[in-house]
Amino acid sequence: MAKSLFLTSVQDYMMVHRYSKRTIDAYLYWIKFFILFCNKQHPTSLGESDIKRFLTYLATERHVSAKTQTLALNAIVFLKTKFLNQDVGDLSGYSHSHRQQKLPVVLTCNEVSALLATMTGHHYLMAALLYGSGLRRIELVRLRVKDIDFDFRQIRVINGKGGNHRIVTLADELLTVLREQMKIVEVTFARDRTIDGYAGVWLPDALALKYPNASFDLGWHYLFPATRLSLDPENNALRRHHFDENSLNKIVKKAARNAGIRKEVSCHTLRHSFATHLLQSGVDIRTVQQQLGHADVKTTEIYTHVLKHGAQGVRSPLSGLLSPQDA
């Protein structure tokens, strides 16, 4: 279904101001939802009571998570304050969502090995980096060639969640396949340069101005490029974007099925497993927090809960009654 002229203008505004594609998609979804909820009234006529009524509806009727409710709030606040230049008023007093966060699904070391054994090529490398370096899915696909530091065995994550930078560990076992992947990127880049109209890799405005030739520098190209060239929606420039993050999730899910793993597995499961296995091996929680890029150590503590409340932390009283063969 085609977007309305209003939503198209909101999208154009966000694109001009360099909002990420995932933020644009998310904000448009919630702005449209808000407008429909208010019987298609124009947002300029909607005020704080309408916003609070909508947020309460999400919590009490739709039972969304606190994170989802906050995303909806952020989208509406953006719409009113940034796009429409209006005050949102006092937004206290609406019903907050209290749906608890899901406990993380964690694979055993044997399950991770089995999953990776079903994969080859760059699919294997991507999954191995998700687990071996604890990367978020979007952080992985946005990696540039220059972000890999072979000398210090580390990866520079630029503009991770919250726009923060961090350094994460890099397994020695991946150095050879990473170099092979970089050769593939180099060949792809060389082929792209022969195509009329190729505009180089996308760079944020500030970097494009500071380094005008960087778009044609191999180091700035994505480590995992898309399979085909496409037009930049901002200016119709011909570029090669990064590997699609949704496709990566499907690849990991398929690998888990092929490995006979019955748990609900996603890319984030490999990140959960990275954190849990580090804690199991004795790495202190502050180090794990830094590796994951968590702003608050309380977020990291959920992995200690997984360890403490299972058989490794609490011995079942049944174990004192039955021998393994009885069970």
Question: Which residue numbers are catalytic?
Answer: 136, 161, 268, 271, 294, 303
137, 245 Cβ separation under 8 angstroms: yes
123, 251 Cβ separation under 8 angstroms: yes
- SS3 (DSSP) at 157: strand
Distance CA 45, CA 50 (A): 10
Residue among 140, 145, 120 at smallest CA distance from 129 = 140
Q: Which two tokens stand for residue 130?
A: 């998700």
Q: Which residues contact 194 (CB under 8 A, 6 or more apart)?
A: none
Instruction: Convert 184-220 into a string of H (helix), E (strand) and C (coil).
Output: HHHHHHHHHCCCCCECCCCCCHHHHHHCCCHHHCHHH
Residue 97: half-sphere exposure toward Cβ, Cα within 13 Å: 21
Distance of CA 261 to the CA centre of its chain: 23
Phi-psi category of residue 39: left, alpha or beta, with phi > 0 → left and psi -120 to 50 → alpha: left
- SS3 (DSSP) at 287: helix
The torsion of the CA quartet 12, 15, 16, 17, rounded to 10 degrees, works out to 120
Distance CA 300, CA 245 (A): 24
Q: Return the CA Rg of the chain.
A: 23
Q: How many residues does the chain have?
A: 327
